[in-house]
Amino acid sequence: MWYAENKKSREKVLAMDASFKTCMFGGFDRQDVVTFIEKTAEEHRTALEVLQAENDTLRRERDDAVAENDTLRLLAEEDARLRDDNTHLEQQVQDLQQQLTAVQAENDALRGPAGEYQSLKEHVADIEISAHRRTEEFRARAMERLGQCIAQQRLWCSQRRSTYLNMNTALAEQLRAAQEAVDSADFAAFDDMIAELQRLEDELKKPDPQL
């Protein structure tokens, strides 16, 4: 647009210049008038070039501002996405912490049966010490009761061990952070307990050599 106006202005000046060179003006020298017009045209052309340069500068600044605005918009969108991801991850961490707390509570609950087993073992020891002083009927009742306790304890151990293994399998993929706590469960203690109970049961089934 600026270029078109500049071109039209120059054509107009050239036309006027040609006219002035062939005409006389009352009281003015023709060459002075031509010189004045050429000077004015040059000043006008220079002003137009300055304006054009300023216009180009403003256009570049505008383009830079648009590019910067696009960059800021993309950064804002990325920030919003990262905030959403962070919220989602915080929720996952909270869920995993709750599951870890449940697993730790279950692990703590396993310590109770261990105490019961020790108490049962001591009770069996007392029965073995005093069995030689008891009658066969008392010994039979004690063996029956002990057999029931052994069966119940064996069943409990088997059920708890199966439950704990199933829980470990279900949480393996979602609860990697709690894997160490789950793996720390002493499953071997159940096997040792069952083996000890089996030994006691076999021992009590042996005939008493003193009877």
Verify that 125 and 39 share a domain, yes or no.
no
Domain ranges, residue 33: 2-88
- Cα–Cα distance between 76 and 69 in angstroms, integer? 10
Q: Is residue 102 part of a domain?
A: no
Verify that 81 and 120 share a domain, yes or no.
no
* Nearest residue to 158 via CA among 197, 200, 201: 197
Q: Is residue 101 part of a domain?
A: no
- Cα–Cα distance between 41 and 34 in angstroms, integer? 10
Number of domains in the chain: 2
Lowest-pLDDT range of 14-23, 70-79, 117-126: 14-23
Verify that 7 and 78 share a domain, yes or no.
yes
* Residue 2 confidence (pLDDT) above 70: no
* Residue 81 confidence (pLDDT) above 80: yes
Q: pTM for the whole thing?
A: 0.29
